[in-house]
Every structure is written in structure tokens, then in C-alpha cells.
Structure 1
Amino acid sequence: MNSPYRVGFVCTGNICRSPMAEAVFRAFVEDAGLGPVVRVDSAGTGGWHEGDGADPRTVSVLEANGYLSDHSARQFRSEWFDGLDLVIALDAGHLRALRRLAPTPADAAKVRLLRSYDPAQPEDLDVPDPYYGGMDGFEECLEMVEAAGKGLLDAVRTALEERAA
């Protein structure tokens, strides 16, 4: 069997947006029957929260919408590029930081913005950081993640088909 297709989500501290995206996308992958062949994780561009759980508001929004959340924050490392097929940035700042970290141009090409997969093609591709706001920001974040996650799942499915061909 081929190695699993690996997707990593990256935000700033790995306690709000990227763990939310990880939990949602993992559920999408499982629902699509792709659990055995797709691995999903997340990290932050910074290490301030390493070892912490997700923000309680993230956990609350996830659980209220039927998603499982079991998370421990960690910082993204450049050597992880080799083991990832896609590195999904939650905003343009993360995209730039990750591309700077990429050891090779091929690794830099693995970095994409999550909302670029949203079929509605939003003008603003950033998922805003909900950390400093109220619950409505976390709920909005979930809506954006779910919308883009469906397109991302289609892209991963296509990549798996191409890999198998």
C-alpha cells in the first residue's frame, strides 16, 4: 500500500483555527471513507502554546457542531515538509511564513491557503483569527473551515486518484 496522503493545517499558535480545521477535515475524511489513506494534523507558526489544548472556545464550537477535539499544540518545523503532501495555511501571513520555511521550491509549492479551496471563491482568502473576539468569531471560523473543507476534500480525493493511476 502507498503511504498515506498527509495534510497539515497551520495557524499562528495552533490553538484556534488550525485545530478547528484539523478536527473538521478529519471528520470529512472519515465520513468519505478515506480515513485509512489520509492523515490530518495541525501546528502553529509559533511555539508559545506548545503542549496546550485547543482554546476552550474552539472546543466548544467544535463539540456543539458534532466534531471531536483532542488536541495538543505544537510548532511547525521545516523538516516536516518532507512528510506532508499539503500544508494548509489559514491566512496570508502563515502562507508567507511557511513558504520561507520551506527547504525547497517543491516544498513551498505544497503550501496553500485553506479558503482557496472554498467553491464560493471568496475574495478574501484569510480565515480571521478569532482569538481576541467573542464566540461569534469562532462560529464564523467554523463556517469558513467547513466551506473550504469540502473543496479541499475533493482536491485530496483527486490527488489520491492520480497517485493510484
Structure 2
Amino acid sequence: MPEKYKILFVCLGNICRSPAAEGVMRHFAETQGLSERLEIDSAGTYGGHRGELPDPRMRSAAAKRGLGLTHRSRKIEEEDFAEFDRIVVMDDMNYEDVHRLAPSREAAERIDRMREFFRKHPDRSHVPDPYYEGHEGFELVLDLLEDGCEGLLETLKKEGRI
């Protein structure tokens, strides 16, 4: 069997957007029979929440969609560039922070913005941080992540990666 294609989702604290993206992508991989082809993880550019579960509000919103978020927060490290085939960030600030961490130009070329995979939300420029938002903010983030993860899977299939 070929090696798994490895995807790392990244946001600021790794307690809202990126663990939710990880959960959405895992769910899609399972329902489409792709779990054996994909390895999915998430991290943050800020390490202050290291070891914490995702934000309870995100876990609650995700649970209503049948997603269990059990990831423990961690900070992205330079070694992740050697480990993962694609790094998908949630906004431009994350992009710049991750880009600065990249050990080489080749590594930096594996960084994508989630917005590049939006199909149903082409007007959106990023996945907003819902941390200081109400319930609607978490729902919007999940809507955007479902759209982006579907688009990412389409891209991976077209590229022949899965």
C-alpha cells in the first residue's frame, strides 16, 4: 500500500479552527473510505494552549454535526515540514507565521490557505477566529471548514494523491 498523504491544519492556538478542520477532514476521510490513505493532524502558531482539548464551544458545535474533537493542542515545529505533505492554514497571519518557520523554499511551497479550497464560499478570504464570537461564529467556521475540506479532497483526487 502506498504511503499515507499527510495533512497538517494550522491556526493560532490550535483550540478552535485547526482541530475542527482536523475533525471535519477525518470524518470525510472515514465516510469516503479514505482513512487508510490520509494522515491528518493540527497545530497552532502559538503554544500557550499546549495539551488542551479544543474550546468547549467548538466541541459542542462540532458534536451537533457528529464530529468528536479530541485533539490536544500543540505548537507547529520546524520538523512538521519534513513530516507533512501539505500544511493548510486558516488565515493570512497564520500563513505568514508558518511561512517564516519553513526551513526551505520547497517546504514553504507546501503551505496553502484554506480559502484556496472554498467552493461554496468563494467570497471568503479566510476562516475567521471564532474565539471571541458567539455561537454563530463557530457554526460559520464549521460551514467554511466543511466547504474547504471538500475542496481539498477534490484537489487531492485530481492531483492523484489519494
Normalising by structure 1, we get a TM-score of: 0.93
CA distance in 2, matches of 1:71, 1:89: 17
2:77: which partner in 1?
A: 77
- Identity among equivalent positions (%) equals 38
| Superposition deviation, residue 131 in structure 1 | 0.1
Gaps of 5+ in 1: none
| Superposition deviation, residue 121 in structure 1 | 5.7
What CA deviation, in whole Å up to 9, does each residue of 1:8-48 have, x standing for no partner? 00000000000110000111111111101100010000100
| Superposition deviation, residue 79 in structure 1 | 1.3
What CA deviation, in whole Å up to 9, does each residue of 1:123-164 have, x standing for no partner? 3321110001111100010010011111101112233x2x58
1:3: which partner in 2?
A: 3
- Mapped contact 1:24–1:145 kept (Cα < 8 A): yes
| Superposition deviation, residue 122 in structure 1 | 1.9
1:38: which partner in 2?
A: 38
CA distance in 1, matches of 2:40, 2:158: 17
1:23: which partner in 2?
A: 23
- Mapped contact 1:113–1:125 kept (Cα < 8 A): no
Q: Note the 1:3-152 alignment, pairs <5 A.
A: 3-120=3-120, 122-152=122-152
SS, match of residue 7 in structure 2: strand
**More helix by proportion, 1 or 2?**
1
Number of aligned positions between the proteins: 162
Aligned CA RMSD, in angstroms, stands at 1.3
SS, match of residue 122 in structure 1: coil
What CA deviation, in whole Å up to 9, does each residue of 1:69-124 have, x standing for no partner? 11100000011101111100000110111111111111101100112101246233
SS, match of residue 128 in structure 2: coil
CA distance in 2, matches of 1:56, 1:157: 33
| Superposition deviation, residue 2 in structure 1 | 2.4
SS, match of residue 78 in structure 1: coil
Gaps of 5+ in 2: none
Normalising by structure 2, we get a TM-score of: 0.95
For 1:152, the aligned partner's letter is L
For 1:125, the aligned partner's letter is S
CA distance in 1, matches of 2:121, 2:49: 32
